Chains A and B, each alone.
Chain A
Amino acid sequence: MRLARLLLRRPTIVAGITIVSVFALVAIFAPLLEPYSVSSASGAAFAPPSAAHWLGCDDSGVDMLSLVIAGTQNSMLVGFAAAAVAVLIGGTLGILAGYRGGWSETGVVGVTDFFLVIPLLPLMIVLAALFGQTIYHIVLVIGLLSWMTVTYVVRAQVHTLKERGFVSRARSLGAGDLYIIRRHILPHVAPLLVAQTVLTVASAVFFEAALAFIGLGDPERVSWGTIIQNAFLHTAVSSGAWWAIVPPGVCIALVVLGSFLIGQGVEEAMNPRLGSAHVSPRSFRLRRPTPEDAQ
């Protein structure tokens, strides 16, 4: 497809896809890749990195490399699934609110405000107490509590777009709502959505680690958040065992970096106008014709 070729030509996207793919592969094949068991000790407590244990061991003697690999599976799942849920909900509501205005908007803003003011911590504790703490529950909780920012940001953007004249012009020509949204709103909102997706992946992974921190992670599964939490509870850093806490943080950073590079690349590819910012000394040129100009 033309779009795919367009995307793959950019080195940033390629780099991003590579990073994310590596982690995705590790996530899928995790059980095969783990050198040791993650539920029983195979070394000394806080053993430093060695030939037998590349990343050392944690406080109960479990191999860190195995833990990190096992954690990749769960953390990737949570990060991307939750972001998908959040951006889907947030984007839809944001466009609805911004485009429609009036009572739809008031309704959406009301619901968004309501979700914003609910205290997350007790809510999560209550949900965990009522429904359990499996990984799917965590994805749902994070997704359902992350869409609000997306909604607000998208809504603000749609407002601005409306007033740029495209919408009223298109309407006066008899275009229907869905057509306008697809043709005029989405292309301008899409870059923001892409940015929001990356942000939400980042914050979903962050959120997962935070949930693990207050004890609401899935205790039956290893995730980067629970590895960090365990290192914290067992004073790994003060004991000098930096290997118990640094690797999961690095993994989180890499996954987010990868998503970010993809996001940035897609953003540029989708909106060529961005490549012609009028003040950039490098690229001062008349911008290429866009669909709006044809109206």
Chain B
Amino acid sequence: MQATHRFCRHRRVLILAFALVVFIAVAVAGCGGSSGGGSSSSASPSGNQPMFRLGTVGNGYDSINPFVGEYAQDYAAWMLMYPNLAQYTGDLKAEPDFATSWTTSKDGLTWTFKTRAGAMWSDGQPLTAKDAAWTINTVVRLQGGAAALLGAYVPGIKSAAATDDTTLVVKLSRQSPALLANLFQLPILPEHFWAPYAKGDGAKLKTVTMDPAKETLVVAGPFTIEKLDIKGTTIFKRVDTFYGPKPLITGYGYQVFTNADAAIQALKAGQVDCVDWLPPTAATAIRQDAQLQVQGFGGGIPETLIVNDSTNNTQHPELRNVQVREALNLAVDRTAIVDSVYKGFAKPGGSLLLNQYVPEFMSAPVPVVQRDVAKANQLLDGLGYAKGSDGIRVANGVKMNYTVLVSTMFQAADSREADILKQDFAEIGIGLQQKVVDNAVPVIFSSPKPYTNYDMTLIMWGLTPDPDWSLEISTSQMLNVYNLTGYSNPSYDKLWKQESSEMDPAKRKAIIDQMSTLLQKDQVFVPTCYTQILAAWNKQWQNVPDSGSVFGFYTYLNKTQFDRLAVQK
């Protein structure tokens, strides 16, 4: 019938056009497209273990240049690429890395470090205390400009010098008990590579791309970058000149997945060996596969509800009342949050003063607030905040109806947590709505008047091995910088000044105990829980880094975490 030939010729033309277009598109993508494409020149894996393919859900690196990067993952990369003076174990004890021992002078203003002999950079140049001195001096010199992001690691340091290849002398202008904890996190950079960029104001330091396709990297860690692809997969290869114990794997890849389903499917299909930062609900999916293992790591990431306690809070001044915050604290059902939101991969708690700070820095762990709805109601009744006909209390003419900011970045967990808090607070006559913003922190600090655009928000905290930072967060000098609650108490500020310069450990511990008590008394935070990082991997891999470390899997605390990672054939 004529009908069958009707569109034949045109259909053929269209199909041909289609095929041509496909070919061109693919060819274009093949030649151009991806960043850093084609630079993977070097060695196919040699060595007894293959490459470890690691994936992460969400954000990867932002920049691996030590003067530019801000994310925690960047620190993890630097820990594995550059020497540090010391590194931390899972229980936050410092152990030698590049420095083998350290002593301080009587007045505490001079520290002397003994560093390893015979160490080398990856290009064969000697790694000595001179590099450490240069790094410290450069950061100190430029901390008001190009090295601003590294400035926190050299608190109170005046200068550093290498009296010989294995001795580093650091001079301070003031004592600081947290000095070592901070200084140990500073990556030591090779002078012969970075010095030309550090001339003058050091603006050129930030222009280094860290891309092995463009320049030769000089590192001294167990790994170096082989192929840089920040938005995709960055590949690291083992460096055999590393002065410490060498990993068994020849390298690892760090792949960024933008959503958890893709990561889980890739893991199941064998395209990656291990994935971290999975949402808690993924555990069910992973457990269905007998070949895969899922585990929660760490437990030192506090999740807290921030309540606006700033003097700028004119919309809901009742939130500035300690008893109101105490009532909120009493109403939170932490068990429900741990079970329903985190599926058991968390535990109640959430104070910024971690349990791991005990006993070195604190006498006792911060007690977890037990749920007591009756007491919470009593408190609010006592304040005269009567419930209206809709069940919502009215405080001085203002309805106790609050908005909690949820960041899209953490929406999966935070949104569900806010749902539970809504139910919890309803039982004490307080209303709660969610507002999703792309990022809560800028909203809180937005000008012209910070602390005016929010009532509450949920925040997950990244902390450090020394409690000084956790304590500093709530000081007045951190207002508009990092102090999200807006808490400002001169007594607390005074205590912090004492704590941050008290060198005697016993005395310092006493002050920290005092500060902890004060924070609890003033109900500065409403802690909910300590969360873990969920990771899943293929069972054929043994000794997947756990560390039991506070900060979880793939942390930036030490260089030995990949040491015994191996595949069982």
Contact between A and B in the complex (any CB pair below 8 Å): yes
Q: Is the CB of A239 within 8 A of B438?
A: no
CA distance A220 to B278 in the complex (A): 26
Which chain B residues border A236 with CB–CB below 8 Å?
Answer: 281
Q: Is the CB of A233 within 8 A of B411?
A: yes
Q: Is the CB of B408 within 8 A of A238?
A: no
Contact of A215 among B264, B419, B436 (CB under 8 A): B436
Interface string of B253-264 (1 = CB under 8 A from A): 000000111001
| A7 contacts partner chain B, Cβ-Cβ < 8 Å | no
CA distance A226 to B435 in the complex (A): 14
Which chain B residues border A133 with CB–CB below 8 Å?
Answer: 435-436
| A208 contacts partner chain B, Cβ-Cβ < 8 Å | no
CA distance A125 to B442 in the complex (A): 13
Interface segment among A40-48, A251-259, A286-294: the answer is: A40-48
Q: Is the CB of A60 within 8 A of B416?
A: yes
Q: Is the CB of A238 within 8 A of B438?
A: no
Q: How far is the CB of B538 from chain A (nearest CB, A)?
A: 16
CA distance A59 to B260 in the complex (A): 15
Which chain B residues border A83 with CB–CB below 8 Å?
Answer: none
Q: Is the CB of B408 within 8 A of A215?
A: yes
Q: Is the CB of B408 within 8 A of A214?
A: yes
Q: Is the CB of A219 within 8 A of B279?
A: no
Which chain A residues border B408 with CB–CB below 8 Å?
Answer: 214-215
Q: Is the CB of B284 within 8 A of A239?
A: yes
Q: Is the CB of A239 within 8 A of B433?
A: no
* Known contacts A39-B423, A60-B419, A214-B408, A234 near B435 by CB under 8 Å: no
Give the nearest-CB partner of B284 in chain A: A239
Segment 336-351 of B: residues with Cβ below 8 Å from A: 340-341, 343
Q: Is the CB of B434 within 8 A of A235?
A: no
Q: Is the CB of A125 within 8 A of B438?
A: yes
Q: How large is the interface on B (under 10, 10 to 19, 20 to 34, 35 or more residues)?
A: 20 to 34
* Known contacts A39-B422, A133-B435, A46 near B284 by CB under 8 Å: yes
| A232 contacts partner chain B, Cβ-Cβ < 8 Å | yes
| B46 contacts partner chain A, Cβ-Cβ < 8 Å | no
* Known contacts A129-B437, A219-B436, A234-B279, A61 near B340 by CB under 8 Å: yes
Q: Is the CB of A235 within 8 A of B261?
A: yes
Which chain B residues border A128 with CB–CB below 8 Å?
Answer: 437
Q: How far is the CB of A274 from chain B (nearest CB, A)?
A: 21
* Known contacts A40-B423, A60-B416, A125-B438, A238 near B433 by CB under 8 Å: no
Which chain B residues border A60 with CB–CB below 8 Å?
Answer: 340-341, 416, 419
Which chain A residues border B343 with CB–CB below 8 Å?
Answer: 45
Which chain A residues border B443 with CB–CB below 8 Å?
Answer: 129
Which chain A residues border B341 with CB–CB below 8 Å?
Answer: 60
Q: How far is the CB of A74 from chain B (nearest CB, A)?
A: 15
CA distance A233 to B412 in the complex (A): 5
Segment 22-55 of B: residues with Cβ below 8 Å from A: none
Q: Is the CB of B415 within 8 A of A240?
A: no
Q: Is the CB of A238 within 8 A of B419?
A: no
Contact of A216 among B259, B282, B436 (CB under 8 A): B436
Which chain A residues border B261 with CB–CB below 8 Å?
Answer: 232, 235, 237-238
Q: How far is the CB of A130 from chain B (nearest CB, A)?
A: 11
Which chain A residues border B291 with CB–CB below 8 Å?
Answer: none
Q: How far is the CB of B81 from chain A (nearest CB, A)?
A: 32
Q: How far is the CB of B43 from chain A (nearest CB, A)?
A: 35
CA distance A46 to B287 in the complex (A): 14
CA distance A218 to B406 in the complex (A): 12
| B265 contacts partner chain A, Cβ-Cβ < 8 Å | yes
Which chain A residues border B281 with CB–CB below 8 Å?
Answer: 45-46, 59, 234-236, 239
CA distance A115 to B395 in the complex (A): 45
CA distance A45 to B282 in the complex (A): 12
Q: Is the CB of B282 within 8 A of A235?
A: yes
Segment 435-457 of B: residues with Cβ below 8 Å from A: 435-438, 443
Segment 404-439 of B: residues with Cβ below 8 Å from A: 406, 408, 411-412, 415-416, 419, 422-423, 433-438
Which chain A residues border B422 with CB–CB below 8 Å?
Answer: 39
CA distance A215 to B412 in the complex (A): 10
Q: Which 4 A-B pairs rank lowest in CB-CB distance, beginning with the nearest?
A: A215-B408, A233-B412, A219-B434, A238-B285
21 A-B pairs within 8 Å (CB atoms) are namely A39-B423, A41-B340, A45-B284, A46-B284, A60-B341, A128-B437, A129-B438, A132-B435, A214-B408, A215-B408, A215-B438, A216-B436, A219-B436, A233-B279, A235-B281, A236-B281, A237-B261, A238-B260, A238-B261, A238-B265, A239-B288
Additional A-B contacts beyond A219-B435, A235-B278, A239-B281 (20; CB < 8 A)? A45-B284, A46-B281, A59-B416, A60-B341, A60-B419, A125-B438, A129-B443, A219-B406, A219-B415, A219-B434, A220-B434, A232-B259, A233-B279, A234-B279, A235-B282, A236-B281, A238-B260, A239-B285, A240-B284, A240-B288
Residue positions of A touching B, CB distance < 8 A: 39-41, 45-46, 59-61, 125, 128-129, 132-133, 214-217, 219-220, 230, 232-240
Residue positions of B touching A, CB distance < 8 A: 259-261, 264-265, 278-279, 281-282, 284-285, 288, 340-341, 343, 406, 408, 411-412, 415-416, 419, 422-423, 433-438, 443
